[in-house]
Amino acid sequence: MSLISKPDISRISSELKSIANLIGPGKSYSMLLEGDGSVAAIQLPLAVVMEMVPEQYHKFPGAEYSDETIATICIEKMFDQLDEGMISTPLLSLLSDVPDFYIGEIPPFALDEPIGIPRQLVMDALWAN
């Protein structure tokens, strides 16, 4: 019989989320990351990501996309951006994990175009179970 029990990951995650909600978003979250935290990633359903992509860059404008397919988005200085209240990432970063099949012609100059990501979407993605 062991006196040491396994940690309850769900409870720990819930408590960390509560603490993060109390201290607020932004640089405070960076203490939970390894490294310098200059780039962080979130995962969102493909349908949500494609809603943020300007329609002129969709291969199939007006198409419906899967909520089950997940895309990872890397956001530079995400926690600093959370502190400022506005989050954006270049179009190229937003599309980096989206299958090419869904993307139409994009002129090279548009790849650096900043795409806004709703703050609450980022917050929800950070604490998704």
Residues 37-54, mean pLDDT to the nearest whole number: 89
Would you state the pLDDT for residue 1? Answer: 45
Q: Which residue has the higher pLDDT, 27 or 51?
A: 51
Model confidence at 127, pLDDT cuts 50, 70, 90, reads confident
- pLDDT at residue number 41: 87
Please, which residues bridge with residue 43 across strands?
Answer: 72
Note whether residue 31 is domain-resident. yes
Q: Region 34-55: what's the mean pLDDT?
A: 84
List, for residues 18-35, the tens digit of each pLDDT value: 766 665 555 555 555 555
56 in a domain, yes or no? yes
- Chain-centroid distance of CA 38 in Å reads 14
- Is residue 9 domain-resident? no
Give the pLDDT confidence score for residue 15 in this predicted structure: 76
Predicted TM-score (pTM) of the model is 0.71
The parent domain of residue 97 ranges over 21-126
Residue 48 lies in a domain: yes
The band of 6, judged by pLDDT with boundaries at 50, 70 and 90, is low
- Does residue 122 belong to any structural domain of this protein? yes
Residue ranges of the alpha helices (H) in the chain? Answer: 9-23, 27-30, 46-52, 78-84, 91-95, 119-126
- Count how many domains the chain has: 1
pLDDT tens-place string over residues 80-98 = 888 888 899 999 999 999 9
Does residue 75 fall inside a structural domain? yes
